[in-house]
């Protein structure tokens, strides 16, 4: 019987929409850290879609990415970060850097 109750509870949660997880009148602004430099660019859209669909509003990136931002002494490359920020904005996420 406990297994049945647990299964029904899980099924109810799985069927719930993100809007019901975070009722607007009880919403706490929430964000997530994301490290695009740790993942292939082909996965970024999937990841940011999931982050947005789960109800997150803010995303923080580039916290530990100095080796990617300055791959060699005096040579800076922000192109990958620009792409990640643009993609996050396309998913209506506020980007914190």
Predicted confidence band at 11 (pLDDT cuts at 50, 70, 90)?
Answer: low
How is the chain split into domains, by residue range? 18-96
User: Which position has the higher pLDDT, 14 or 55?
Assistant: 55
Q: What CATH topology corresponds to 18-96?
A: Rossmann fold (3.40.50)
Structure tokens given for 17: 């929409």
Strands (E), the chain: 31-33, 58-60, 94-96
Residues 70, 76: Cα–Cα separation, whole Å: 4
pTM of the model: 0.68
23-80, pLDDT tens digit by residue? 777 666 788 999 999 999 999 999 999 999 998 999 999 888 999 999 999 999 999 9
Mean pLDDT of the region 4-27? 66
């Amino acid at each position: 019987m406990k297994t049945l109750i647990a299964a029904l509870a899980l099924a109810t949660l799985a069927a719930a929409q993100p809007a019901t997880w975070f009722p607007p009148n009880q919403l706490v602004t929430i964000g997530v850290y994301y490290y695009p430099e740790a993942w292939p660019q082909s996965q970024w859209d999937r990841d940011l879609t999931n982050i947005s669909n789960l109800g997150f509003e803010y995303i923080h990136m580039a916290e530990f990415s100095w080796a990617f931002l300055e791959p060699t002494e005096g040579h800076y490359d922000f192109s990958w970060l620009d792409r990640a920020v643009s993609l996050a904005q396309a998913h209506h996420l506020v980007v914190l850097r």
